[in-house]
Amino acid sequence: MLTLKRAFKNVLRRRFRTLLVSLVLALCVAVFVSTIAGVDASKAATTEIMRQYEASSQATIEETEQLMSAIQITGGMGRGMGMGMQPPVGSADNPITDNYINESVTDAISAMDGVVGMVGSLTYTVGANTTSSSSGGGFMMRFSYDYMIRGATINSSLDGGYDAALPVNITEGRNLQEGDDNAVVIGEDLKDYFNAGVGDTVTIEGTGFKVVGVYSSNRSSFEEPVGGETPGDFPGGGNAVFQMEDKDVYMSLTTAQNLLNLQGEVSQLTVYASDSSAVDDLVATIQSAYPDLMVFAYKDMQSGFGDRIIQQQQSIISTTEENLSSVESLGFSITLVSAIIGVLLIFGLMFYTVRERTKEIGTLKALGFSNTSIMRQFMIEGLYVGIIGGAIGLAIAAVASSLLGSWLLNTSETLGTSVSVSVTVGTMLLGLGIAAIAGALGSLYPAWRASRVSPMEALRND
Amino acid sequence: MNNTTTDNTIVRTKGLSKTFMMGGQEVHALTNVNLEIKKGEFVVIMGPSGSGKTTLLTLIGCLDKPTKGKIYLGRKSLDVTEIPDAALYKIRRTNLGFIFQTFNLIPSLTAIENVELPMEGSSKSKIRKRRRERARDLLRLVDLPDRERHKPAQLSGGEQQRVAIARALANDPDIIIADEPTGNLDSETGASILNILRKLTTDKNHTVIVVTHDYNVAALADRKFLIRDGKLQKDKPPDAS
């Protein structure tokens, strides 16, 4: 007890020096504690990001798998009657026609083995127009239309929660719901055409419909090469420019069928196989049963899409883990350096103190103090300085840890998200413990040297 | 190893020699010193500067080990030259009390805490447990009862030396060793210090060994040892020059 009291008094003997060393040590402790808090926050943020990402990733993977198991069926372009298909509508001069598949076909397909879901849609182009021009042996065709009626399944007849082919990005109002018999959702670009918005009534093919929502898909025109080996293609080849704008009028499938007097007809079927491995067989089965239909596996149209999605997911996870690893490594380096600086600080202080108090050490030995007790006293003094510095450092960290931790680890840039840094009680105790250990370690050698001083030589030292 | 004697000898040296290496050369600080000091004596060791008197004091005080020879301390004539360096602190704590020319008080401790200091590790539990009370008694003995809470910087030279004397008596040692105790004091203060030291031998039966240049100190001694060039001259009665 007396040793503790005496050591404390000795520490306070040189107040300015002790305070100076303590402040620098405090800074080291503040950095140490803030870094640990920053790393903990990064881990927590990463865990949360990964949790959220895995949840959305799982949904994306499920959607991708759904898409990879999808088969698109259309009536084919320029085909004649047969198999329940009706004649094409639209202008007889317009080579782009909408062909339809009636319900006997849809019912038969939905009953095939391997089909787990099916969504039908009916499209009808209003005011379709194509212009062509030629020069230098090639040609250019431009397609445009006033708007397209899209009758969409709001709920699939087969369960499974499959995409009902409704617009995704509703910018005004709402999307179509079950029971919306006289309601439409129009594209952003049709607001001017119809001079109408949400709540207004628009006339579609002579029938009035209430606009319940507006969508936007940010599409633009694109060119597609046409020509080649398929019969009916244009000789010489060329480019077709599709002017894709938000010019669809969505309504329920039944409403569209009634409006266009095409009850039981669809222009496109999206059939979902039990899994992507069954798609090829199902395509073959459908095509074999209905050779006049155009049957495409979505996975063939989007080559490697599924793999790309999965690779993207894995890449993001891997990058996030790498970022956390970098933060942890950086954090470890910072804490190690700050701890080493702390030890060296105390070492310097105590080394100087021992030299300064050589005479006092000699006196203590003359008075009957053992080498061990002298070593213990100086180590306790070092420990006190460590604890004082640690306590001040914790006070700094409590106030500035958020700023220090985020700045040192640059976590907001590393993880692309803001990280909230706070110091826990456990981290504070660790910081104080490390400061005390730094005090003890730093004073170890100077204290040992003090114990080795010859009492006679010390007494001669002035 | 003990060398028991039947008389009252408290310090005995036999063939004591000490050689230092300085600048690659041997310096014989002490050569074949034989002396005996009896219990309760006030002994003075005198000599010119560099004569070896401080070296003799440090050897008797177990602050250093001789190159050759023996030193027997205490009533049981303990051969301290046989004791390892690391264990000599016990001898210093129990048998010896030191008074220095520059007082050597611990600056961060008060007067009473300085006096208590040696009692911290005393083997005598009575002393250890009653150290505050004993420290007060000792300060009263040196006539400083009202200064116990003062730190050395707040005390005069004479007061500091009195505290040092009280500290030297803390563990009730047989032998008090004083190295120029009045060297930093004026004559009047020095005289009062000497008075206290003299009383320790007459009233308390301590043995006091003083190294000094001061002939006034020598005049108070029961015996005087002269050292020259590391050799002990024949000890002289106190009135001899």
pLDDT in tens, A254-305: 999 999 998 888 888 888 888 778 888 999 999 898 888 888 888 776 666 6
Q: Shortest Cα distance from A17 to chain B (angstroms)?
A: 15
Residue of chain A minimizing CA distance to B97: A367
pLDDT at A220: 45
Q: Per-residue confidence at A204, pLDDT binned at 50, 70, 90?
A: very high
- Whether B16 is in a domain gets the answer no
Residues of B with CB below 8 A from A366's CB?
61, 63, 92, 98, 104
Whole-number mean pLDDT of chain A? 78
Check pLDDT > 80 for residue A155. Answer: no
Position of tokens 């590790």? B121
Q: Please report whether residue B11 resides in a domain.
A: no
Confidence check: pLDDT of A158 > 80: no
Rounded Cα gap, residues A370 and B24, in angstroms: 31
Does the pLDDT value for residue A97 go beyond 50? Answer: no
Answer whether A370 sits within 8 Å of B108, measured CB to CB.
no
For residue A353, the chain B residues in CB contact (below 8 A) are: none
DSSP H helices in A267-370: 279-289, 298-301, 305-356, 358-366
Q: Does B129 touch chain A (CB under 8 A)?
A: no
pLDDT digits (tens, 9 = 90+) for B111-146: 999 999 999 877 677 777 788 999 999 999 999 999
Contact call for A367 and B93, based on CB within 8 A: yes
Amino acid at A11: V
Nearest partner of B169 among B116, B128, B132, B222, judged by Cα: B116
Q: Which DSSP state fits B110? A: -
Quote the percentage of chain A above a pLDDT of 70.
Answer: 76
Q: Does B114 lie at the interface with A, CB-CB under 8 angstroms?
A: no
pLDDT band at A101 (very low <50, low <70, confident <90, very high): confident
Q: Do A366 and B64 touch (CB under 8 A)?
A: no
Q: Return d(Cα B16, Cα B69) in angstroms, integer.
A: 4
DSSP A170-196: EEEE----TT-SSEEEEETTHHHHHT-
Tokens of B27: 């310096």
Helix axes B157-168, B131-141, angle to 10 degrees: 130
Cβ-defined contact of B98 to A359 (cutoff 8 Å):
no
Q: Select from B58, B109, B118 the Cβ nearest to the Cβ of A368.
A: B118
- B156, part of any domain: yes
Residue B133 belongs to some domain of the structure: yes
**Between these two residues, A239 and A58, which has the higher pLDDT value?**
A58
Query: Chain A contacts of B109, Cβ < 8 Å?
Result: 6, 9
Residues 6+ apart with CB under 8 A from A379: A440, A443, A444, A447
The two tokens of residue A328 are 């942890």
Does the residue B15 lie in any domain? no
Closest approach of A373 to chain B, Cα-based (Å): 10
Task: Categorize the per-residue pLDDT at B4 as very low, low, confident or very high, splitting at 50, 70 and 90.
Answer: very low
Per-residue pLDDT of A231-255, as tens digits, reads 444 444 454 444 457 899 999 999 9
Predicted confidence (pLDDT) per residue in A16-50, tens digit: 888 888 899 998 888 888 888 888 888 887 887 77
Lowest mean pLDDT segment, chosen from A104-118, A356-370, A427-441: A104-118
Question: Across the strands, what pairs with B8?
Answer: none
CA distance B240 to chain A (A): 30
pLDDT at site A78: 38
Q: Number of Cβ pairs closer than 8 Å across A and B?
A: 69
Encode A399-432: b = buried (16+ Cβ within 10 Å), e = exposed.
ebbbebbbebbebeebbeeebebebeeebbeebb
Tell which of B104, B114, B115, B176 to mutate to test the A interface (max A CBs under 10 Å): B104
Which B-chain residues 172-191 have CB contacts (< 8 A) with chain A? 179
Which residue in A367, A456, A459 has the most chain B C-beta atoms within 10 A of its own C-beta, making it the best mutation to test that interface?
A367
Q: Which residues of B54-93 are buried (b: 16+ CB within 10 A; e: fewer)?
A: bbbbbbbbbbbbbbebbbbbbeebbbbbebeeeebbebbb
Element (H, E) at A41: helix A15-68
Residue A141's pLDDT is what? 64
**Contact between B89 and A10 using a beta-carbon 8 Å cutoff:** no
What pLDDT is recorded for position B138?
Answer: 93
Rounded CA separation A115/A278 (Å): 9
pLDDT at A270: 87
According to the model, what pLDDT value does residue A68 have? 78
Instruction: Determine contact, residues A246/A216, Cβ cutoff 8 Å.
Output: yes
Chain B: give the shortest CA distance to residue A23, in Å: 23
Is B231 a member of any domain? no
Per-residue model confidence (pLDDT) at position A227: 45
pLDDT of residue B6: 47
**C-alpha dihedral sign at A391, A393, A396, A397:** negative
What's B152's DSSP letter?
G
- Higher-pLDDT residue of A429, A419: A429
B20 touches chain A (CB under 8 A): no
- The residue segments making up the domain with residue B45 are 41-65+83-221
CB of B160 less than 8 A from some CB of A? no
Give chain A positions within 8 Å (CB) of B171: 368
- Do the chains contact at A459 and B64, CB–CB below 8 Å? no
Asked if B109's CB is within 8 angstroms of A369's CB, the reply is no
Give the CATH number, domain containing residue B48.
Answer: 3.40.50.300
Contact A365 B120 (CB under 8 A): no
Among A155-169, A438-452, B182-196, the range scoring the smallest mean pLDDT is A155-169
**Within a domain: B186:** yes
Q: Per the structure, how many domains does chain B have?
A: 1
Distance CA B3, CA B35 (A): 15
User: Which pLDDT score, from 0 to 100, does residue B13 have?
Assistant: 94
Instruction: Identify whether B109 is part of a domain.
Output: yes
- Please tell me whether residue A316 adopts helix, strand or coil conformation: helix
pLDDT of residue A235: 45
Q: How far is CA A4 from CA A7, A11, A372, A425, B112, in A?
A: 5, 11, 14, 27, 17
Q: Which amino acid is at A395?
A: A
The pTM for the full model equals 0.65
